[in-house]
Structure 1
Amino acid sequence: MPSFSMPSRRRVAAAIALAVAVPFAATACGGGGGGDENKIVIGTKFDQPGLGLRNPDGTMSGFDVDVATYVAGELGYSPEQIEWKESPSGQRETLIQNDQVDYIVATYSITDSRKEKVDFAGPYLVTGQSLLVREDNTDITGAASLQNNKRLCSVSGSTPAQKIKDEYPGVQLQQYDTYSACIEALKNGAIDAVTTDEVILAGYAAQTPGAFKIVGDTFSEERYGIGLKKDDTEMRNKINDAIEKMESSGAWKEAFDKNLGPAGITAPTPPQVDRY
């Protein structure tokens, strides 16, 4: 058996301690993004005013951002400990499955197909598909009035675009990569209306007061949830507790009114979370 000097023994002990500690650090809460226990990584949209928007100075704003920040606070993280990660619609499940985020709050509709890949806390908001037109438009009053060969814009591969294809075949549907591109086309007259969830449209309307208006009733139901790792029941329950506290405390309505009220949308009754 080889003999070890005292410094050698200390080095061996330190190496063993490090080897044991590393796996635990890597799996700590806040692991989405590298295992730093002093931060939490939250996914959201960076290009949706009123919901999830990265401002020119690098700060984040919007209803989804406020909900995500409140939840993080209930989990023990201050706003300064949040790392925001952009989460485009088509990448959300992958970001969660690959541990790149701890959870996602990004106009993320709860669907059965998505629940096969990730879990959801919530819902924290129920909305529906609607229409945005220019302020001076008088001939588009709802989905039925689109049938007369109106030019409608939505995002490629989105649920709203598919619904239009399935239920309103008389519409000239144009699909862009982003809603901001649709808004620009609406502004310059290239299209007649934009369709997606009402709260998303409200954010764009509020960003340019007097330019656009939302018309007609909603014609779908979208239940927004907070996406997280599949089968992480403990985390889902903690997030659901935070959502319920935000709703009952009045902070939920305050956040809604601040971010989406300027578009003329009245805060709805907060939805009951689903404890599945």
Structure 2
Amino acid sequence: MKLRKVTAASAVVLALAVSVTACGGDKKDDASGGKKIKIGIKFDQPGLGLKQPDGSFSGFDVDVATYVAKQLGYQPNQIEWVETKSADRENALQRGDVKFIAATYSITDERKQKVDFAGPYLLAHQDLLVKKGSNITKGTDLNSKKLCSVTGSTSAQNVQKTIAPKANLRPLSGYSECVAGLQSGAVDALTTDDSILAGFAAQDKYKGQFQLVGLKLSNENYGIGVKKGDSTTVDKINKALEKMVADKSWDKAVKDNFGPARYKNEPAPKIGDIVK
């Protein structure tokens, strides 16, 4: 009888120990953030994807990616932001460095051969950024001018092929370098999407120095890049984007990030609606 009591007591102690251990494990998971997701963004694009001096991140792409991640089951503290430069986006997905990429990633037929896309989630247009008062007012004015864009981007090549064949292309590693070159006079113009250019022009240190020419040289359908063949993730992201538009979170993100630059954005595109 006494043996039974000891056994029963031991069983209770063992059960309590297991319970405490389990609870401790849950707290540890919560404290550490549990599961993580790696998301590719740009680190040097004001208004879209920018790493702040304090280590935080801001921008429209960041807001979209954060919203999507939440719909996939991840809180903001479970996101690991990974810098993905234009020239390395396809490789980053193929290597599995990130789950998805939201980095001003225009959907093109060529890119769709290597990765899959969800979206689009924003329709931007290629434009030119020049110094205020510049005599560059149309695309053909770029002939014999020094035109900067980022290595791996299609923007400068588009201009040279279709508008200004004599433009002198100056590819650099990032948009910050191009803007610095424009400020110093090392280049005459910077070309990329109007959303990106507006973000740079609105920065405090550049206010009043630059202007958008206002050309719609192309349609840039921003999509979220996913590893080729991962249709399940594409479907989940598309549903998240549709929800973001429906609950007006998309409108808020546009206003928060582009409002100060007076950027005239297009309405939210429909999923799968690619404007040529």
With the shorter chain as reference, the TM-score category is 0.7 to 0.9
For each residue in 1:34-58, what CA deviation from the matched residue of structure 2 results, as whole angstroms up to 9, or x when unmatched?
xx96111111011111111111110
Given the alignment of the two structures, is residue 173 of structure 1 paired with residue 185 of structure 2, yes or no? no
Cα 1:275–1:262 shift into 2, 3 Å:
closer
- 1:151 and 1:76 mapped to 2: Cα distance? 46
Matches for 1:22-33 after TM superposition, within 5 Å: none
2:149 alignment partner, one of 154, 169, 173? 154
Partner of 2:263: 265
Q: Which has the larger radius of gyration?
A: 2
Cα 1:163–1:275 shift into 2, 3 Å:
closer
2:87 alignment partner, one of 76, 86, 90? 90
Q: Which 5+ residue runs of structure 1 have no aligned equivalent?
A: 1-35
Matches for 1:197-212 after TM superposition, within 5 Å: 197-207=193-203, 208-212=206-210
Matches for 1:1-276 after TM superposition, within 5 Å: 38-137=35-134, 139-147=135-143, 149-167=144-162, 168-207=164-203, 208-274=206-272
User: Are 2:87 and 2:153, in contact at CA under 8 Å, matched by a contact in 1?
Assistant: no
Cα 1:193–1:65 shift into 2, 3 Å:
same
User: Are 1:261 and 1:267, in contact at CA under 8 Å, matched by a contact in 2?
Assistant: no
- The Cα shift of 1:253 comes to 1.5
Tell me which amino acid in the other structure corresponds to 1:197. Answer: D
Q: Which 5+ residue runs of structure 2 have no aligned equivalent?
A: 1-32
User: Are 1:96 and 1:102, in contact at CA under 8 Å, matched by a contact in 2?
Assistant: yes
Give the total of aligned pairs: 239
User: Is the deviation greater in 64-73 or in 184-193?
Assistant: 184-193
- 1:186 and 1:175 mapped to 2: Cα distance? 13
User: Are 1:257 and 1:267, in contact at CA under 8 Å, matched by a contact in 2?
Assistant: no
Question: What is the TM-score when the length of structure 2 is the normalising length?
Answer: 0.82
Identity value in percent: 52
- The Cα shift of 1:174 comes to 2.4
Question: What is the TM-score when the length of structure 1 is the normalising length?
Answer: 0.82
Tell me which amino acid in the other structure corresponds to 1:274. Answer: G
User: Are 2:86 and 2:150, in contact at CA under 8 Å, matched by a contact in 1?
Assistant: no
- 1:259 and 1:122 mapped to 2: Cα distance? 19
Tell me which amino acid in the other structure corresponds to 2:68. Answer: V
Partner of 2:26: none
Cα 1:170–1:116 shift into 2, 3 Å:
closer
Tell me which amino acid in the other structure corresponds to 2:202. Answer: A
